[in-house]
Amino acid sequence: MFQEGSKEKHGVLKRYFGEELDTTIFYFIITLTVPFVVLGAFWPELLASLCSTAVGVVFKVFQSTYLLGVTGILVFCLALAFSPFGKVTLGKQGEKAEFSTFSWFSMLFSAGMGIGLIFWSVAEPLIHMAAPPTGEANTFEAARLGLELYFFHWGFHAWAVYAIVALTMAYFQFRKGEGALFSSCLIPVIGRKHANGTVGRLVDTFAAWATIFGVVTGLGMGGMQMASGISSLMGIPGGANLTTALILIVTFAYIVTAVTGVSKGIKFVANLCVLFMIALMFFFALFGPTGYILKTLWMGLSDYMTDLPRLSFATTLFDNDTWTRNWTVFFWAFWIAWAPFVGAFIARISRGRTIREFILGVIILPPLFSFIFSAALGGTTMHLEFVQHLNVSEPINKDFAMALFVTLKHLPFFHFMTGLSLVLIFFFLITSCNSATYVAARFVTCGRDVADPKANNRLTITFGTILGLLTVVFNYSGGLKGLQTATILGSVPFFIVMCLGIVALIKDLIQNERTQKASMGASAQPE
């Protein structure tokens, strides 16, 4: 009787969401996410307390592992790019890239860190200036250190995390013909039987868990920033209620675009986002202190590159354990949590590129654009603070989400540029959540597209709604701190999956090389 009832329930789910649905993974994800929604809705203080305790344990256990592990990933990626394996094509030999370089860059950048860059590019350097990990606060030296640390947190390490996940997925999907799932990438390590069984389902559940909680943070920060912008522009009160309303509006918008498909929706919005960012950057360069911005860029880059080895291999930065946990460990967890959906999405759009082209493109191009963008915005803010003595740091430190708009108030066309910035944030949120919804839905369909369009749309709407509800819950149960907690909790299980994926990639590359050499040797022998 129980088995018949279970089969009947599975049949209902498959009829509703499509025959491709893996009901086990679906149940796992619902079981993991629904308690957060219920606790956040009825007992937000209890949820905040439980999450705070869990995060404390994660920090204590994983601090050194995260710091050195992410550095190890960066070193491995660069070594792989310049090794003989760098010539391997992510697809059939000689296959051409599916997207143009600009469209490829636009999509990976927009999904990778667009909204976070808008949020933190002005705020983070000034936050570090007001509370530096070392040295005297509110000085130019503290601001300079803040810019360097911003480059460190948003630079090569972040994109190395994305690159290794995307590379592993693209290699096994396009080179080996496996499914678009993380469990398929682990076949060389755990075997095909386990990859297709319970272990594989747990792996894909962890990937979906990290995706959902990572995007919740980005959506929440974007909602907070949009609320601050509207409050600044229209003079209406901000706060959690306005943020929630905006989150729900964005949720509806990205669900609508998600059902249009990757090629129609994401590509168009991603290209538009990058064009808007370039326009915003040129506005700051034209109407801001151009020379000071260039000096800021050079100063930040030189400090970052000079101190990169020291920052990369330290398990406690500046002998300040609390600061290290609250900032560097959090950001590494942030990138790990975003890696499943960003990596899966980057893999999807990277067919036909070589490993070398892929790694160097992903690790170098987006960070350089990020550095230029942050120098334009952050450099202008530093000029207002230290040259014009306008004390912009005080209101920014009171509300991080106000950082961009506080700076825009001191430049021409405030209302127009604030409106444009709000549109940019809105589009970035749609792009990121669009990608996440698409990828998360694929985790429960064994990496396949659902054949029935109506069932596919219902699945997309379900995951889009889960993202929106979780964001609202964490926003009410702790604001920015609650959102950061979601990221950290989502990153832990997937970090283990990432490490196994690296082992699987190395093992398969070496095995293929040996097979090719043996084949060449056999064919060279005289008959």
Domain span at 322: 21-497
298 within a domain of the structure (yes/no) = yes
CB 473 within 8 A of CB 466: no
pLDDT at 76: 96
200 within a domain of the structure (yes/no) = yes
515 within a domain of the structure (yes/no) = no
CB 258 within 8 A of CB 460: yes
304 within a domain of the structure (yes/no) = yes
29, two tokens: 């994800």
> Model-level pTM greater than 0.75?
yes
pLDDT at 362: 92
Distance CA 209, CA 207 (A): 5
Task: List residues bridging with 354 in a β-sheet.
Answer: 89
Helix (H) or strand (E) holding 173: none
131 within a domain of the structure (yes/no) = yes
441, two tokens: 């839905």
3-state secondary structure of 337: helix
Distance CA 355, CA 74 (A): 14
Q: What is the pLDDT along the chain (527 residues), one digit of tens a residue?
A: 434 444 555 567 777 777 778 888 888 888 878 887 788 778 878 877 887 788 788 877 888 899 999 999 999 999 999 999 999 989 887 788 888 887 787 777 666 666 677 777 888 888 888 888 888 888 889 989 999 999 999 999 999 999 999 999 999 999 888 887 889 999 999 999 998 888 988 888 888 888 887 778 778 888 888 888 888 777 777 777 888 899 999 888 888 877 766 545 566 776 777 788 888 888 998 999 999 999 999 999 999 999 999 888 877 777 778 888 888 988 898 888 888 878 888 888 888 899 999 999 999 988 888 899 889 988 998 899 889 988 888 888 888 778 888 899 999 999 899 888 888 888 878 877 877 777 777 788 776 777 677 887 888 888 888 888 888 887 777 655 666 676 777 788 889 999 999 999 999 999 988 877 776 665 555 55
Distance CA 331, CA 377 (A): 20
Distance CA 280, CA 367 (A): 17
376, two tokens: 């334009």
For 169-271, where are the E strands, in sequence order? none
Residues composing the chain = 527
Q: Using CB atoms within 10 Å of the CB of residue 161, give its burial: 0 to 12 exposed, 13 to 18 middle, 19+ buried.
A: buried
CB 269 within 8 A of CB 110: yes
6 within a domain of the structure (yes/no) = no
Number of domains present in the structure of the chain: 1
517 within a domain of the structure (yes/no) = no
Distance CA 107, CA 272 (A): 10
CATH code where residue 257 lies: 1.20.1740
524 within a domain of the structure (yes/no) = no
